[in-house]
Amino acid sequence: MADHIYEPNSEFAFKDVTFVSPVSVPGGNHFIRSFANKQQKPLYLQPPKCKLKNGVVKVGKRMYCDFIFTQADEELIEWIDKFESLCQDRIFENRQKWFESTLEKHDIENSFSSIIKLYKAGKQYSMRVNIPTRLGTSALKVYNESEEDIHIDSLKEGSSVIAILEFQGIKCSARNFQVEVEVKQMMLLSDVNIFESCLFSKKGQRAAKIDTVEKEEEHEIEQEKEPEIEKVEIKEEDLEEREEELDNEMCEVDLPYHDQNEVVTIKEPNEAYYTMYREAKKKAIIARDMALAHYLEAKRIKIQFSLEDSDSAPGESLENIGKYLEFDIVSPSSEVVH
């Protein structure tokens, strides 16, 4: 059986899937059986891990459960979509042989009910599968992770499970077409929360587990002998005699020679101030020209794209900036030429 359990991926050969003519089933419906290949092997599929929506539901003699998949199970959703499209194509190809009434392709598509339903605002997907029964009781084999048999009542709402499904075929009623899927085996998985116990470890204990220190061999270390200190006699000099010698010595200093006819001009304070003023004014004019250029560029962009100054702070609108730039930094009447 394990050789014929497929995974929902792109490697599955849909071209090998076969269908047989419809047969009558209780309730006035018909059923089109599907197989994995021409040898009529059952089509078994193992979907990824999922959760149960409401556990096991029993309605009369029928039992079923709803599997909940997430957007991460995109490969499974695509596989089911391709399988349902294949079912629609086979119904259309054999419509004259299988049905008395004339069916168009859009009639089949509109009457086909997908087994995948959107759940939680499209964030999840729900798929209903049938549970096999015998004499009104479940015939499903349920295991735990130790591969031990457990009762079906262990399956609760929100339980994490993996399952083996059989895509049995297409159920045909007077109103619609729908793929019938039956679960053959199920394994209940344990949801382990590692943070239910304390995971902290003391730094010293962790270091003791990780680090292994080898005992070093002892070696004799020769001690160096301390050097002997020689005693040096300090001779005292007569400081008074030394000071007298220094006082009596004369030092000759040569001053640079200047021409007596050379005229030395001292710059008046006002001239220095005017030099500083001219430099500052020059920098101000450069800053004004740069500001004017940026102002004109901003004005061009505003006009070209019909922009507003609604988000500008008070005084920072383009019009106010333009008013400031209308005045010269230095007015002609106040400029003094020295």
pLDDT in tens, 91-106: 999 999 998 888 899 9
Looking at residue 254, its pLDDT comes to 56
Q: Which helix (H) or strand (E) holds 51?
A: strand 50-52
How far is residue 68's CA from residue 85's CA, in Å, rounded to a whole number? 22
What DSSP character marks residue 149? B
Query: Within 13 Å, how many C-alpha atoms sit on residue 332's CB side?
Result: 0
Looking at residue 256, its pLDDT comes to 53
How far is residue 115's CA from residue 64's CA, in Å, rounded to a whole number? 13
CATH value at residue 84: 2.40.50.140
Query: Within 13 Å, how many C-alpha atoms sit on residue 71's CB side?
Result: 4
Say which residues have a Cβ less than 8 Å from residue 109's Cβ, sequence separation at least 6: 88
**More confident of the two residues 102 and 87:** 87
One domain for residues 153 and 272: no
Beta bridge partners of 166: 44, 182
One domain for residues 74 and 162: yes
pLDDT of residue 128 exceeding 70, the answer is yes
168-191: buried (b, 16+ CB within 10 Å) or exposed (e) per residue? bbbbbeeeebbbbbbbbbbbbeee
Q: How many domains does the chain have?
A: 2
C-alpha distances in Å from residue 124, one per residue of 1, 9, 221, 332: 31, 19, 74, 78
**Does 130 reside within a domain?**
yes
C-alpha distances in Å from residue 90, one per residue of 12, 45, 85: 18, 20, 9
The pTM assigned to this predicted structure is 0.58
Query: Which residues constitute the domain of residue 296?
Result: 267-338
One domain for residues 29 and 164: yes
One domain for residues 181 and 281: no
User: Residue 72: which pLDDT band, with cuts at 50, 70 and 90?
Assistant: very high
**Does 215 reside within a domain?**
no
Looking at residue 302, its pLDDT comes to 82
Enter the tokens of residue 323: 């008013």
**Does 252 reside within a domain?**
no
pLDDT in tens, 2-33: 458 999 999 999 999 999 999 999 888 999 99
